Amino acid sequence: MKERPSFPARLPHTPSDLEMPHRPMARTSDLLHAAGNAALAVPVKSTMARPLTIGAGISAQDFGAVRRDMVNRLARSGISDATVLAAMGEVERHRFVDSALQGQAYQETSLPIGLGQTISKPGVVARMIELLRRGAPGKLGRVLEIGTGCGYQAAVLSLIATEVYSLERLRGLHDRARENLRTMRLPNVHLLFGDGMLGYPKGAPYAGIIAAAGGEAVPQAWTDQLAVGGRLVAPVAGQQAGHAGQVLIVVEKTPRGLQQTLFEAVHFVPLKSGVA
């Protein structure tokens, strides 16, 4: 029996000036261009009268405006998947960070969420999900997320996949994610506490697997649980690309075996086994 969360969950709907016509997936080389090389996907005028500051009593209107600005910035940086951009504009990132950090929630920066972990930069979340989708015309099927963290990426994934299984090895973060998602209604999100390196075989096979922690190599359990035709996106040690640090790797499972492609450098927390 599949484990499901004990809470209902549905995202509150926001005004849909973020609805965008579908555009074909850009070439990988185009996606790697710097900001300014892509046209704005959502030409929205900001309603902000002043910059956000921590503790300034930010209004819902202000948050909506900076979220739209964030989506425009993502489009300028090369994110071209309309479904990903719409999902990034729908999920309220400020609800997943401490109140003292909410003024920075839509900036292109990672933020601490406790236990030595961080919420990834919006651009990294969008980039990885775009690579996972690879221009799919509709929603992905079942997706496995390794590293729930505060629950933000799981909420975004809920809008681009029919079902999301999200594993977290740190009990404190697992509980925090449940609390963050409690007021949302996301019946297709299942939060699991366990060792992410083992994956979740009960939910396999997965159309997509996405990881928020990087190791020396992709665990065998993940590729075993990936469906034929599925795609895995994760950070791995950059030695595979001949330099220090981490890079993004995309693994595609074909009838003939696994195909791997390395992309840009990233920085994630190390992948660890066990629970804590």
Reading phi first (left if > 0) and then psi (alpha if -120 to 50, else beta), residue 156 is in: alpha
Catalytic residue among 77, 80, 120, 158: 120
> Per-residue b/e over 165-202, b at no fewer than 16 CB within 10 Å?
bbbbbbeebbebbbebbeebebebbbbbbebbbbbbee
**Whether the bond into 12 is cis, omega within 30 of 0:** no
CA 29, chain centre distance (Å)? 21
Count of helices and strands (H, E) across the chain: 7, 11
Nearest partner of 111 among 126, 131, 95, judged by Cα: 95
Does the active-site annotation cover 16?
A: no
Cβ atoms of residues 149 and 191 within 8 Å:
no
Contact 130, 146 (CB under 8 A): no
DSSP string, 226-242: EEEEEEEEEEEEGGGGT
Please report, for residues 14, 43, 66, 147, 242, the alpha-carbon distance to residue 166 in angstroms, rounded to integers and kept in the order given: 24, 33, 28, 7, 31
Do residues 151 and 96 lie in contact, with contact meaning Cβ atoms separated by under 8 Å?
A: yes
What residues act catalytically?
120
